[in-house]
Amino acid sequence: MLSYLLRRLLLVIPTLLGITAVVFFVMALAPGGVGASLLTHEGQMNPQQRRAMEQYLNQRYGLDKPPVVQYLRWLNKVSPFGYRDRADAKRGLPWFKSPDLGESFSRQRPVTALISESLPITLLLNVVTIPIIYTIAILTGIQAAKRRGQLFDVGGGTILLGLWSLPTILSGVLLIGFLSNQEYLRLFPTNGLHDIQADAMTFLPTTAGGSFQRGWLLDTLWHLVLPVVCMSYGGFAFLSKLQRGAVLENISLDYVRTARAKGLAEKEVLYRHVFRNSLIPLITVAANLLPALLAGTVVVETIFGISGMGRLMVEAAFVRDRELVLSDALVIGLVGLIAYLLADICYVVADPRVSYDA
Amino acid sequence: MTLDAAVSSALAAAPPDAQASDSGGRPVRSLRRQAIHDTLSNKRARAGLVWISIVAFAGVFAPFLANSYPFLIKIDGRISSPLLRHLSRLDIVLLIALAAAIIIFSRRHVRVSVKWAAFATIIAAAALGSRLFHAPGTNVYDTYRQLQRDGKIQWAVYAPVRFSPNDRMRDQPALRLTPPSRHHLMGTEANGADVLSRIIHASRIALAIGLIATSIAVVIGVVIGGLMGYFSGRVDIIGMRLIEVFEAIPSLFLLITFVAFYGRNLYLIMAIIGLVSWTGDARFIRAEFLRLRKQDFVQAAIAGGLPLRSILFRHMLPNGISPVLVSASFGVASAILSESVLSFLGLGLVDEPSWGQMLNQALNVGGAFTWWIAVFPGLAIFLTVFGYNLIGESMRDALDPRLHGIA
Amino acid sequence: MDPLLELKNLDVAFDTDRGQIRPVRDVSLSVFPGQTVAIVGESGCGKSVTALSILRLIPEPPGRVLGGEVRLEGRDLLRLRESEMRRVRGKDIAMIFQEPMTSLNPVYTIGDQIVEAVTLHQKVGTRRAYEIAEQSLREVGISDPARRLHEYPHQMSGGMRQRVMIAMALSCQPRLLIADEPTTALDVTIQAQILELLRKLQRETGMSILLITHDLGVVAENADVVAVMYASRIVEFATVEDLFDHPQHPYTEGLFRSVPKLQGHKERLDTIPGTVPNPAKFPSGCKFHPRCPRTRQIAATAQPDEVVQIAAGNERFTVMQVCTDDEPVLREVKPGHWAACHFAPNYPEAPVTVPRLEHRREVVPVVLGDAQRALEPQGATR
């Protein structure tokens, strides 16, 4: 198991290199080259700032060098080990250093700080959403398979395909428009994940001072409702169809007949024997689902004014903040690959036929 | 499994003539014809097809459906057609293409390759010819409204929707953000333009993005996947890594980066959507080719010394293309979604109307929620995506051999 | 003594989108305690569906029992409620299947799967259930059963898995074991071991076995009583010795002629001409008549007005009208021997009785040369 995991982890490295290389060269080969996008603000700078920036760029990228060299320099900067500049050569183990993601020009702040603020928010959204997606998908998928060919199955299948086709940009705009607008129903908040006074709230709901205080937890949950609805329906529509197919495929297999011949009730056959086997394809696609969900958060975060990774990425791309875009790609690639790994481990756990050493 | 054997043999033997055509002649062709027939006889697929036909009709005839210029007009005793005069090059090329398609593809006894060649020639000629044609540079949309108000028009025939998509009603500033009414069936947007007219004209972008982006994705996917499947081994391993890299980057992020750094150009957006969505097609083709290359007819082609191009595209591709057709149908849907999301995020085209960009307006208009700007273009996106997905799913069901047999 | 299991006129139909098919028609047979009854026939003759219908395991829909009785010690299983039926499955009647490779759930250990059956039918704790499971694994000859309990099916060979299936089936001491082609998917040497194991377990527990097979060699070595099935019907029912010595149905005769023998002439083996009819398109009258040598033989000497012409394949054969018009039923053509053929001796006067034979074979097995896989056609795809 350990060697299997190690091998998987090693395979992550070339993929990460590939991801950052693709993004880097997309930017480097853009009209005007790397510098053009970085120096767009120079008109507004005083000469001192400008010189500082040029110096920074040269030190970091070597803009006079070809793109490949530039990319390698960037890699050296962000990787936890490698060639060190003289300045910090004295400290720590040789070859090991602290990764440096650079500084965002548009925000004038270190990229690491920006990401450490945004990433937890996006992860929170996904951590809440994924269990909801899987629960609904598994339940409806099994029901549809049980009623194969009946109205519930056929009608439900069309509705699910409809949900899958329903763009988040429409559902999100409609939800926020009708459910959070003063003119219609003011049921949910429009913006962000917390109330302005959330920091002053107690964690749990209280009735202190005679009036009900919803507290930090409830406030967050309340803010989460609409974004999570928007993020989840497409996913469970897709997975529900997958689950239905998996159940149908398993239910005609020989081992199900054996289970029935043992005298198990149909329910036990379904939930003990078929269910566990039908989860295997769902675990396989979990790895593909996460990148899609991360992309989905771009839209959801934009609509609901949540400052997570998606919004950070869009805004960075808008102002061509190269440091931020590259680091975003790196982090999102990393998160996606961790998801792949987790899915792999789940797969090995769920299916004993998968060998750790193969 | 005698039970299954009994049932399936019973079913297999029922129509003896169908069996006969499967074993001799062209098995692939007859299977595909059966699949097309199954797809078209599915009610849901037909519903999708009807909607997409409506969108396609709206796209080709957009200037005749929604235009501020009258189709025919009589002023001072002279009859003229401002609408035809203001047709753009694209309008003309589209109309010629449609006419050519109808004429060429309704001929029975012409070979398919000849048909396509003729079609391509006509389109190229039309595209070149339209260069000679000059539409008036600036559009003053309110000219004819003004003339009408002044009572100078004797009679006029208008398009069903009497507003051009970019007609911002400068003569009537009060008409901004008005809810649906008799004059503006779907209301007006922040600049005063008619929402219905913009939706009709935007159907062009949606369809074009869907079809062209998917074609690019399919071509890239078929070439890469085909080479991977045919050569397998090292080519396959490198190809799989490439696919994994592209799948690990959320394609929307890549799209946003591309568009942000390369500028907003319709053709570029199409190419980029194609460039980030080929991986699924490549996987399908690879799997099919891995299977096919072991089969006798491919081995025979290799042994016969046919050139690689001929083996890949003439012998293997027609037998392995079916799953790609399914994924292409879903691909068109997701390309339309991608474009609308890009436009929604403000990275789409600026001047041309697009469904996603209209939705974005609904969000950005401060204060009151102008539902008509959101609902109608949103519905257009939804129905088109849904239509393609319905067709794709019916095609997949028709091609899935496991679904045949025991009902 | 009363039979343990008795089928009376069992009729099963499948509704398909191209019409109804009848995989089991008018099947009657009985199994006595401690007896092995073999149902033998070619693929698709309905023997597996018969077995599954006894446990009511045919999928409904499309399957449907049209009529008949399945009596277990007098109780009609077809009339039981589903919850009562579940107490019969696994406890009174256990079943093992042809494909040991796929008949076990891949994601559970074999211990879990045996224990599941044990706790379902016996009021025992988990620990005791594991002891029972271990014991039954030991009984089926699996070495180191305590360790094997924690292995997954994919870690075992086909023969081992079939032993596990048998252990699971026997863990609740059923009185009847339905073995649906238990050795077909296994190597010849493993086949012999598994059959030997079944015989040993039968001697020890006194259970009955309903053995479904297409292999006359298996029948000869294991069965007390044999039912021959053809085209959804039982066409002959007799003790194994009587059947092998005096077959009454032309189909049975044909089967024996197509079995290779070690001694004797080096001529080509006889085969039965034609193929098994498709259940969706059965011929009229006797379902065997297009392939039947006897009807042609008799037709040659019959009166002209009794004769009709029918097409079979590309040749034209002359067959008896009685064979094409009237489907024979299973009759007791001589005491203790049932057959369904118009030209079996004594057929017209023979009584229609429920086939019952409380017969146990002698310990010495019937010698039938090298009768392996007699019914399997050459180049069979299964």
The ipTM assigned to this model is: 0.80
At residue A195, the pLDDT reads 67
Q: Is the pTM of this model over 0.80?
A: no
Query: SS3 of B342, please?
Result: helix
Query: SS3 of C175, please?
Result: coil
Beta strands in chain C (DSSP E): 5-16, 19-31, 36-40, 63-72, 75-76, 93-96, 176-180, 208-213, 225-230, 233-239, 307-312, 315-320, 331-334, 337-339
**Residue A83's pLDDT band (boundaries 50, 70, 90)?**
low
The answer to whether A178 faces chain B, any CB pair under 8 Å, is yes
Q: What's the pLDDT tens digit per position in B323-365?
A: 888 888 888 998 998 888 888 888 877 777 888 888 888 776 6
Give phi and psi for C342, each to the nearest 5.
-60, -25
Chain B neighbors of C19, CB-CB under 8 A: 14
- Chain B residue with minimal CA distance to C52? B3
pLDDT at A130 over 60: yes
CA dist B78 and B82 (Å) reads 12
- Chain B residue with minimal CA distance to A249? B402
Which of B250, B259, B407 is facing A332, going by the closest CB pair? B250
Comparison of pLDDT for B199 and B93, the residue scoring more: B199
Which B residues 10-49 touch C at CB under 8 Å? 10-11, 13-14
Mean pLDDT for chain B overall = 78
CA dist B44 and B51 (Å) reads 11
Which of A263, A277, A353 is facing C86, going by the closest CB pair? A263
**C152 to A352: CB separation less than 8 angstroms, yes or no:** yes
**Residue B218's pLDDT band (boundaries 50, 70, 90)?**
very high
Which of B5, B10, B406 is facing C43, going by the closest CB pair? B5
**A351 to C165: CB separation less than 8 angstroms, yes or no:** no
Residue numbers in chain C where pLDDT is lower than 70: 261-269, 297-320, 363-382
**Residue A316's pLDDT band (boundaries 50, 70, 90)?**
confident
Measure the N-to-C terminal CA separation of chain B; round to a whole number of Å. 17
Which of B3, B6, B14 is facing C18, going by the closest CB pair? B14
Q: What's the pLDDT tens digit per position in B62-73?
A: 888 888 788 888
Q: What sign has the CA pseudo-torsion A307, A312, A318, A320? A: positive
Q: CB neighbours (10 Å) of residue B282?
A: 27
Minimal C-alpha gap between C59 and chain B (Å): 10
pLDDT at B301 over 80: yes
Chain A neighbors of C83, CB-CB under 8 A: 265
Minimal C-alpha gap between B372 and chain A (Å): 10
**Residue A252's pLDDT band (boundaries 50, 70, 90)?**
confident
**A276 to C107: CB separation less than 8 angstroms, yes or no:** yes
pLDDT at A296 over 80: no
Three-class secondary structure assignment of chain A:
CHHHHHHHHHHHHHHHHHHHHHHHHHHHCCCCHHHHHHHHHHHHCCHHHHHHHHHHHHHHHCCCCCHHHHHHHHHHHHCCECCCCHHHCCCCCCCECCCCCCEECCCCEEHHHHHHHHHHHHHHHHHHHHHHHHHHHHHHHHHHHHCCCCHHHHHHHHHHHHHHHCCHHHHHHHHHHHHCCCCCCCCCCCCCCCCCCHHHCCCCCECHHHCCECHHHHHHHHHHHHHHHHHHHHHHHHHHHHHHHHHHHHHCCHHHHHHHHHCCCHHHHHHHHHHHHHHHHHHHHHHHHHHHHHHHHHHHHHHHCCCCHHHHHHHHHHCCCHHHHHHHHHHHHHHHHHHHHHHHHHHHHHCCCCCCCC
**C83 to A273: CB separation less than 8 angstroms, yes or no:** no
For residue B16, the one-letter residue type is P
Minimal C-alpha gap between C6 and chain A (Å): 19
The answer to whether A30 faces chain B, any CB pair under 8 Å, is yes
**B386 to A165: CB separation less than 8 angstroms, yes or no:** yes
**B390 to A161: CB separation less than 8 angstroms, yes or no:** yes
At residue A35, the pLDDT reads 52
For A277-286, give one letter per residue: b (16+ CB within 10 A) or e: bbbbbbbbeb
CA dist A177 and B133 (Å) reads 45
Q: Is A17 left (phi over 0), alpha (psi -120 to 50) or beta?
A: alpha
For an interface test with C, the pick among B3, B8, B404 (most C C-beta atoms closer than 10 Å) comes out as B3
For C100-126, give one letter per residue: b (16+ CB within 10 A) or e: bbbbbbbbbbbbbbbbbbbbbbeeeee
**A15 to B393: CB separation less than 8 angstroms, yes or no:** no
At residue A46, the pLDDT reads 66
The answer to whether B8 faces chain A, any CB pair under 8 Å, is no
Q: What's the pLDDT tens digit per position in A175-233?
A: 888 887 766 666 677 677 776 666 666 676 666 666 666 677 778 888 888 888 888 88
Contact between B387 and A162 under an 8 Å Cβ cutoff? The reply is no
**Which chains neighbour A (Cβ–Cβ under 8 Å, 3 or more pairs)?**
B, C
**B345 to A298: CB separation less than 8 angstroms, yes or no:** yes
**Which chains neighbour B (Cβ–Cβ under 8 Å, 3 or more pairs)?**
A, C
pLDDT at A144 over 70: yes
At residue C75, the pLDDT reads 86
Angle between helices B355-364 and B322-344 (to 10 degrees): 30
Q: What sign has the CA pseudo-torsion C170, C171, C176, C180? A: negative
pLDDT at B217 over 90: yes
The answer to whether A209 faces chain B, any CB pair under 8 Å, is no
Between chain A and chain B, the number of residue pairs with CB atoms below 8 A apart is 146
Chain B neighbors of A158, CB-CB under 8 A: 44, 390
At residue B384, the pLDDT reads 92
Kindly calculate the radius of gyration of chain C based on its CA atoms and give it in whole angstroms: 22
Percent of the residues in chain B that have a pLDDT greater than 70, as a whole number: 87
At residue C302, the pLDDT reads 54
**Average pLDDT of the residues in A242-265:** 87
Chain C neighbors of B6, CB-CB under 8 A: 14, 21, 23, 44, 46, 49, 279
At residue B213, the pLDDT reads 92
Strands B78-80 and B72-75 turn out to be: antiparallel
At residue B10, the pLDDT reads 38
- Chain C residue with minimal CA distance to A265? C86
Percent of the residues in chain A that have a pLDDT greater than 90, as a whole number: 1
Lowest mean pLDDT among A235-244, A333-342, C217-226: A333-342
pLDDT at B32 over 70: no
For an interface test with B, the pick among A160, A170, A306, A319 (most B C-beta atoms closer than 10 Å) comes out as A170
Chain A neighbors of B374, CB-CB under 8 A: 170, 173-174, 177
Query: SS3 of C15, please?
Result: strand
At residue B17, the pLDDT reads 34
**Average pLDDT of the residues in B93-121:** 82
At residue C366, the pLDDT reads 46
- Chain C residue with minimal CA distance to B10? C280
**Range with top average pLDDT, A35-44, A324-333, C321-330:** A324-333
Give phi and psi for B90, each to the nearest 5.
-60, -40
pLDDT at A87 over 60: no
**Which chains neighbour C (Cβ–Cβ under 8 Å, 3 or more pairs)?**
A, B
The answer to whether A165 faces chain B, any CB pair under 8 Å, is yes
Which A residues 226-285 touch B at CB under 8 Å? 249, 254
Which of B3, B9, B406 is facing C278, going by the closest CB pair? B9
At residue A200, the pLDDT reads 67
Q: What sign has the CA pseudo-torsion B127, B131, B132, B136? A: positive
Q: Return the structure tokens found at B319.
A: 């037998």
Q: What's the pLDDT tens digit per position in B158-182?
A: 788 778 887 777 777 777 777 787 7
At residue A341, the pLDDT reads 79
Which of B6, B11, B14 is facing C44, going by the closest CB pair? B6
At residue B22, the pLDDT reads 36
Contact between B283 and A288 under an 8 Å Cβ cutoff? The reply is no
For C157-166, give one letter per residue: b (16+ CB within 10 A) or e: eebbbbbbbb
**Average pLDDT of the residues in A300-320:** 84
